[in-house]
Amino acid sequence: MPVIVILDDRVTNRNIFSRLAASLEDGLTVQAFGDPQAALDWTAEHTPDLIITDYKMPGMDGAEFTRRLRAGPGGADVPVIVITVYEDRSFRLRALEAGATDFLQSPVDHQEFLVRARNLLKLGRQQQIIRSRAMMLERELKDSERSREAELRDSRERLAQVIDTVPAMISAVDAAGRCQFVNAYQAEVLGIDPLRCVGKDATTMFGPAHRERSQALDRMVFESGRALPSFEEEVIDRAGRARVFLTTKSPLRDAAQVVASVLTTSLDITERKQAESRLRHLAHHDVLTNLPNRTLLRNRLQRELARGRRGDHMFALLFLDLDRFKGMNDVLGHHLGDRLLQAVAKRLRETARDCDTVARLGGDEFAILQTQLSRREDAENLAQRVIETLAEPFHCEGQELGLTASVGITLHPADANGVDELLRNADMAMYRAKEEGGNTFRFYVADMNRRAFEAVRLEADLRAGIAREQFVLHYQPQMNLRTGRIIGVEALLRWNRPGIGLVRPGEFLPLAEENGLIVPLNAWVLREACAQAARWQRLGLPPLRCSVNLSPVQFRKQDVIALVVAAIEETGLDPTLLDLELTENILMENAESVAATLRELQALGIGLSIDDFGTGYSSLSYIKNFPITRIKIDQSFIRHLKTDPSDTTIVRAIIGLGHNLNLDVIAEGVETVEQFTQLAADGCDEIQGYYLSPPVPAEELRRLVEQGTSLPLPAAAGIG
C-alpha cells in the first residue's frame, strides 16, 4: 500500500493536502507532519512512496529538509515535491540542488496537485519494478557464475583424478629441468612423494643412468620443439623390479607458443613384452623338441654372415637326416616316434657346444650351425661325433632302438656367402651322404675351377688397381647425440674398377686380406685419410676426428707404429684427430704384442675404437686390458633394434657396460628415426649411419659439416 508524507507547518494546508492525497487511490495512507525534524525522524524508520513538503517552514526550509532526507537511510530514491511561491526562482534552485524531484506552485491548484502526485507515484512504482528486476538479474548472474566456477573446478578436479589414476607415468619439467608435476601413478611406481618433487630438479626422481638420458631427451624436445617418437625404456620400480615402459616426450607451449615444458608419458608394457617374448619363443622354436626352428636358424646364419664381413671368420653348417626314420615311425607309432625325436634332440644338444645352434627343421631333419672353428677338420670331427652318439642304442618306453644318420657339411666363407646358398649346399651334401648308403657325412664340393679362376682375375685386377691408383676414399659422418654436431668421419675404401664402376670393400677386401695386398692398400688409405683430415683443418673446419679401419693382417705383417707415425709426420695431422678402428680379432690374436703397440699409439694421442663390437667373441672385461677409447656397436644389432627385444637388451647392456669402463659408445648402421631415438634414450654417445648420411666424397662431407647439420630429428624424419 502506498504511503504519502505531507509536511507543512500550517494546519489548514496540511489538512487540505492530506485530503487531496488520500483521494489519489484506495487504501493509500497519509502521514502528515508540521515539524520537518519529526518528519525526518519518521522517514528514518519508514520509506514513503512520495513526500510533499512546503518550502517555507520555521527552523528548517524545504530544501534543507530534502538534503537531509536524501542523506538519510532509504531517502535517496523517494520522489519529493516542493511547494514554492511562484516568484521564488532562487529557492527552486536550492531545492533542486538539494535533490527535489518536482515543484508545485503556491497557492496550489488542486487538479495540478493530483496529476503531479499521481505521476510521481506511478514513476516511483515503475522504478521500483525496474530496480527489483535488475537486482533479480544480478542475483541470477551471480548464481550462474558461481555454478560455472563450481563446474569448472569440478571438471579440473576430475581431470586431475584421471591423470592420477591412468596406469601411466605422467610428469612435466620446465626449461630449467625442474619438475612441474608428477602423477600419483608415477609416484607409486617410483616410490616418491609428489609434493617433495614439484619445483625440484626433476632428475632426482630416477636413478643415475636414467637421469642423464632423460635430461638429454628433454633438451632435444626443447630445442626441436617437436615430440619424440616413442621409445622403450627400462625403469626400476620401488620394489627393485625392472619394468619396461613405452615413453613419449612432447612439448607443452605457453600462450606465446613458446615451449615452456616437456610432458613425459610412460606406459607400462612389461606384460606385453613378456607375452611377446613367449610368442617369439613359440615362433622360433619347435614345439616337440624345443629346439630352434628353421626361422631362428636363418636369423643366426644371417648374424654369422655379418660377423664374417671381413672374410677372416669361418663357420660350418651341418644338415642331418635320420636314415629310414619314416619306416620306424610307421611301425612304432607316432607316439614312440616323437619320444625318439626328443631323445635325438637331447643327444645333439649334448654333442654340440653351447655357442653352436642345434635346430630342428621338421620331420627327422636337424641342423647344426657350428661357430668358432678354425679348421675344416673341426666340422668333420663334429659330424663324426654326431654319427657316433646317434649310433648308441636309444631306450624308449622299454624298447631298445638303433638309429643312424646322414650328415652334409658346408663351410663359410669357402663354399658360400648367402643364407640360401648355405642351406642349399648343406642339403646337397646331405643327399650325397644318403646316396652313399647313409650313416656317414659328406662335405659340399663346389665348382672349384670357376671360383679359382675368378680369384686369380680379381687378384690381377687388384694389383693393377693399386699401381694405377684406382682407389678413392669416401667419408661417413658421425654425430654426437648430446650436441647434435658432426664430430668425426669414418674413411671407407672404394675401388673404381674399370668397366664395373665403384666397388665396395666387401667384394675385394677378403681376397686382399688373403693374398696380403691389404698391406699396401691400407697404407695408402691411412696416408690419404690423414692428408684429407689435415686439409679440412687448414680450411678452417671445426676439429673432425678421422677414423681409419685397420686389418688384422697389418698387425701380423707390418710395423703399425712406424706406418702411423710416418702418416702423421708427412701430413702434419694433429694425432688426437686420428682414430684407428680395430676388430676384436686383432686384440685376440696376439694379445701381448698388440697391447704394447696400442699403448704406444695411445701415448701419441691417437684414439682406438673396437669396430663391429658384439660380433666377435671378446667380452668387455677382456677389452679392459687394452687402451681402448671407444666401441662401435655392430649394425646387425641396430638393424633389429625395437623389433627384436634381445637386440634391444644387448645394445642397452653394451652401452651401460661401455660407460662403466669409461668408453665412448658409437652405434653404426643407424637408418631410422626410431633407432635414432631409442639409442639416444639408451644413452648412446654417438651415431653413424644412413639416417645421418651415407659415406660421401670428401667435398660433399665438407659441405655437410659447413651446413652445420644440427639434430636431424625434425626435418629429416618428417615427424610431428
**Contact residues for Mg ion (CB under 5 A)?**
549, 581, 611-612, 668
- Angstrom distances, CA of residue 96 to CA of 56, 106, 253: 15, 17, 61
Rounded Cα–Cα distance for residues 198 and 503 (Å): 59
The count of residues interacting with ligand C2E (CB under 6 A) is 25
Closer residue to ligand C2E (CB): 580 or 663 = 580
Instruction: Say which entry of Mg ion, ligand C2E, none residue 481 contacts (CB below 5 to 8 A, set by partner kind).
Output: none
Sole window of 107-115, 125-133, 339-347, 668-676 interacting with ligand C2E (rule: CB under 6 A): 668-676
Rounded Cα–Cα distance for residues 421 and 623 (Å): 35
Per-residue interface string for the shown chain with ligand C2E, residues 434-473, x marking contact by CB under 6 A: ----------------------------------------
| DSSP label at residue 205 | G
Rounded Cα–Cα distance for residues 702 and 700 (Å): 5
249 pairs with which residues across the strands? 264
89: which 3 cell numbers?
526562482
Of the candidate residues 325, 689, 701, 702, the single one contacting ligand C2E (CB under 6 A): 689
Closer residue to ligand C2E (CB): 49 or 634 = 634
Contacts of 635 (CB under 8 A, 6+ apart): 306, 668, 669, 689
Shortest reach from residue 599's CB to ligand C2E, in Å:
22
Q: Is the peptide bond before 413 cis (omega within 30 degrees of 0)?
A: yes
Closer residue to ligand C2E (CB): 408 or 669 = 669
Rounded Cα–Cα distance for residues 363 and 322 (Å): 9
Q: Binding to ligand C2E by residue 525, rule CB under 6 A? A: yes
Of the candidate residues 14, 94, 303, 310, the single one contacting ligand C2E (CB under 6 A): 310
Q: Binding to ligand C2E by residue 307, rule CB under 6 A? A: no
Of the candidate residues 537, 671, 700, 717, the single one contacting ligand C2E (CB under 6 A): 671
Rounded Cα–Cα distance for residues 540 and 706 (Å): 10
Per-residue interface string for the shown chain with ligand C2E, residues 254-293, x marking contact by CB under 6 A: ----------------------------------------
Q: Binding to ligand C2E by residue 493, rule CB under 6 A? A: yes
Q: Binding to ligand C2E by residue 551, rule CB under 6 A? A: yes
640: which 3 cell numbers?
633389429
Q: Binding to ligand C2E by residue 549, rule CB under 6 A? A: yes
Instruction: Say which entry of ligand C2E, Mg ion, none residue 476 contacts (CB below 5 to 8 A, set by partner kind).
Output: ligand C2E
Closer residue to ligand C2E (CB): 54 or 668 = 668
Rounded Cα–Cα distance for residues 420 and 424 (Å): 6
The SS3 call for residue 217 is helix
Sole window of 154-162, 272-280, 501-509, 616-624 interacting with ligand C2E (rule: CB under 6 A): 501-509
| DSSP label at residue 587 | H
235 pairs with which residues across the strands? 243
Minimal CA–CA distance to 288: which of 346, 331, 369?
Answer: 346
Minimal CA–CA distance to 179: which of 207, 204, 211?
Answer: 204
Hunting for cell 527489483 — which residue is that? 132
Sole window of 375-383, 451-459, 505-513, 655-663 interacting with ligand C2E (rule: CB under 6 A): 505-513
Closer residue to ligand C2E (CB): 192 or 696 = 696
Instruction: Say which entry of Mg ion, ligand C2E, none residue 50 contacts (CB below 5 to 8 A, set by partner kind).
Output: none
Shortest reach from residue 167's CB to ligand C2E, in Å:
37
| DSSP label at residue 292 | B
Closer residue to ligand C2E (CB): 54 or 634 = 634
Dihedral, CA of residue 568, residue 574, residue 576 and residue 582, to nearest 10: -30
Please tell me the total number of residues recorded for the chain in this structure.
720
| Buried-state track 243-257, b at ≥16 Cβ within 10 A, e below 16 | bbbbbbbbbeeeeee
4 pairs with which residues across the strands? 30, 50
Closer residue to Mg ion (CB): 406 or 478 = 478
Closer residue to ligand C2E (CB): 405 or 492 = 492
The SS3 call for residue 423 is helix
Three-state SS sequence of 648-715: HHHHHHHHHHHHHCCCEEEEECCCCHHHHHHHHHCCCCEEECCCCCCCECHHHHHHHHHHCCCCCHHH
Of the candidate residues 498, 506, 542, 572, the single one contacting ligand C2E (CB under 6 A): 506
Q: Is the peptide bond before 79 cis (omega within 30 degrees of 0)?
A: no
Closer residue to Mg ion (CB): 549 or 558 = 549
Per-residue interface string for the shown chain with ligand C2E, residues 388-427, x marking contact by CB under 6 A: ----------------------------------------
Helix ranges (DSSP H) in 352-375: none
Rounded Cα–Cα distance for residues 407 and 358 (Å): 13
Burial category of 540 from C-beta neighbours within 10 Å (exposed 0-12, middle 13-18, buried 19 and up) = exposed
Of the candidate residues 304, 612, 647, 682, the single one contacting ligand C2E (CB under 6 A): 612
Q: Binding to ligand C2E by residue 505, rule CB under 6 A? A: yes
Sole window of 69-77, 328-336, 462-470, 665-673 interacting with ligand C2E (rule: CB under 6 A): 665-673
Closer residue to ligand C2E (CB): 594 or 670 = 670
Of the candidate residues 50, 173, 492, 610, the single one contacting ligand C2E (CB under 6 A): 492
| Buried-state track 542-577, b at ≥16 Cβ within 10 A, e below 16 | eebbbbbbbbbbbbeebebeebbbebbeebebebeb
Closer residue to Mg ion (CB): 186 or 549 = 549
Of the candidate residues 510, 607, 669, 683, the single one contacting ligand C2E (CB under 6 A): 669
Instruction: Say which entry of Mg ion, ligand C2E, none residue 408 contacts (CB below 5 to 8 A, set by partner kind).
Output: none
Rounded Cα–Cα distance for residues 685 and 663 (Å): 10
Residues 623-662 that bind ligand C2E (CB under 6 A): 635
269: which 3 cell numbers?
608394457
What element of type H or E holds 308?
Answer: none
Closer residue to ligand C2E (CB): 617 or 690 = 690
Q: Binding to ligand C2E by residue 509, rule CB under 6 A? A: yes
Instruction: Say which entry of ligand C2E, Mg ion, none residue 514 contacts (CB below 5 to 8 A, set by partner kind).
Output: none
Closer residue to ligand C2E (CB): 246 or 523 = 523
Instruction: Say which entry of Mg ion, ligand C2E, none residue 337 contacts (CB below 5 to 8 A, set by partner kind).
Output: none
Q: Binding to ligand C2E by residue 476, rule CB under 6 A? A: yes
Minimal CA–CA distance to 668: which of 708, 641, 705, 628?
Answer: 641
Q: Binding to ligand C2E by residue 611, rule CB under 6 A? A: yes
Cβ atoms < 10 Å from Cβ of 367: 26
Q: Binding to ligand C2E by residue 510, rule CB under 6 A? A: no
Instruction: Say which entry of Mg ion, ligand C2E, none residue 233 contacts (CB below 5 to 8 A, set by partner kind).
Output: none
Shortest reach from residue 695's CB to ligand C2E, in Å:
5
Shortest reach from residue 634's CB to Mg ion, in Å:
6
Shortest reach from residue 456's CB to Mg ion, in Å:
29
Cα angle: 516, vertex 494, 555; to 5 degrees: 30
> Which residues would be at the binding site for ligand C2E (CB under 6 A)?
309-310, 476, 492-493, 504-506, 509, 522, 525, 549-551, 581, 611-612, 635, 668-671, 689-690, 695
